[in-house]
């Protein structure tokens, strides 16, 4: 009986969530516009721009997402779309090209906030081409018994969060730097791996051998498939 009651409770919660509908401000239309340019300020056409309200959590599929509208950028990279103004704590505009480019998200809370003139102007959307960086570190010197390295590079996502029309710096994460580190020795002398970053990024390769002072090497990622080989 206890098990049956538990299942019934879960199903009831699911029904509540799945039956939720996004509320809208009466007769209010929202215009969203912008322009998609790459890292060289060249327009990107055919970019998908999707507008979502993400109004709840489903036990089955995670976030309940409602697609409000979608469009594509024109030859000059510009786009615009008009829809009813949805009231939601997690109002999202997502700009995506394909796996070769970074992805951009604009997030805000529209439950009480009404954009000025019912307009969200994203301006120039910061989309960048991506690079796959492959690295190989090998031990060749018998006297090099300990090797420690760190790779520091920009991430591939840009999410800007706005509150009452103002950018929230604390909540925004746009091409933030991240690191990966590893210590090598005679038992584990070599390492190989890969990561994705933005094309044109500066990657810092910091290393020390046998506890000596650190050395910093700057890599300019100028190819979509970048190979980095290092021996110590």
> CATH 2.60.40.10 residue ranges in the chain?
20-126
Domain 20-126 belongs to what topology? Immunoglobulin-like (2.60.40)
Residue among 139, 157, 63, 55 at smallest CA distance from 101 = 157
* Neighbouring C-alpha atoms within 13 Å toward the C-beta of 105: 15
Residues 97-120 pLDDT 10s: 999 999 999 999 999 999 999 999
Predicted model pTM: 0.80
Count of C-beta atoms within a 10 Å radius of residue 169: 8
Residues 12-40 pLDDT 10s: 444 444 445 778 888 899 999 999 999 88
What is the pLDDT tens value at each position of the chain, 232 positions in all?
444 544 544 444 444 444 457 788 888 999 999 999 998 899 999 999 999 998 655 555 556 788 999 999 999 999 999 999 999 999 999 999 999 999 999 999 999 999 999 999 999 998 999 999 999 999 999 888 899 999 999 999 999 999 999 999 999 999 999 999 999 999 999 999 999 999 999 999 999 999 999 999 999 999 999 999 999 9
pLDDT at 231: 95
């Amino acid at each position: 009986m206890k098990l049956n009651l538990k299942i019934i409770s879960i199903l009831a919660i699911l029904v509540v969530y799945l039956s939720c509908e996004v509320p809208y401000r009466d007769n209010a239309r929202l215009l969203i516009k912008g322009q998609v340019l790459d890292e060289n300020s060249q327009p990107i056409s055919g970019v998908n721009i999707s507008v979502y309200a993400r109004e709840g959590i489903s036990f089955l599929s995670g976030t309940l997402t409602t697609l409000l509208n979608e469009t594509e950028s024109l030859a000059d990279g510009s786009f615009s779309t008009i829809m009813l103004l949805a009231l939601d704590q997690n109002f999202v505009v997502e700009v995506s090209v394909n796996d070769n480019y970074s992805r951009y998200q604009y997030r805000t809370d529209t439950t009480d906030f009404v954009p000025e003139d019912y307009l969200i102007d994203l301006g120039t959307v910061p989309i960048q081409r991506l690079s796959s960086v492959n690295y190989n570190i090998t031990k060749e010197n018998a006297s090099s018994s300990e090797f420690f390295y760190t790779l520091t590079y920009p991430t591939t996502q840009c999410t800007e969060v706005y509150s009452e029309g103002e950018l929230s710096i604390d909540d925004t994460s746009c091409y933030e730097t991240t690191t990966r580190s590893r210590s090598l020795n005679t038992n584990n002398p070599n390492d190989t791996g890969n990561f994705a970053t933005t094309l044109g990024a500066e990657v810092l390769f910091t290393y020390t051998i046998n506890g000596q002072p650190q050395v910093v090497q700057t890599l300019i990622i100028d190819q979509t498939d970048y190979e980095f080989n290092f021996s110590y």
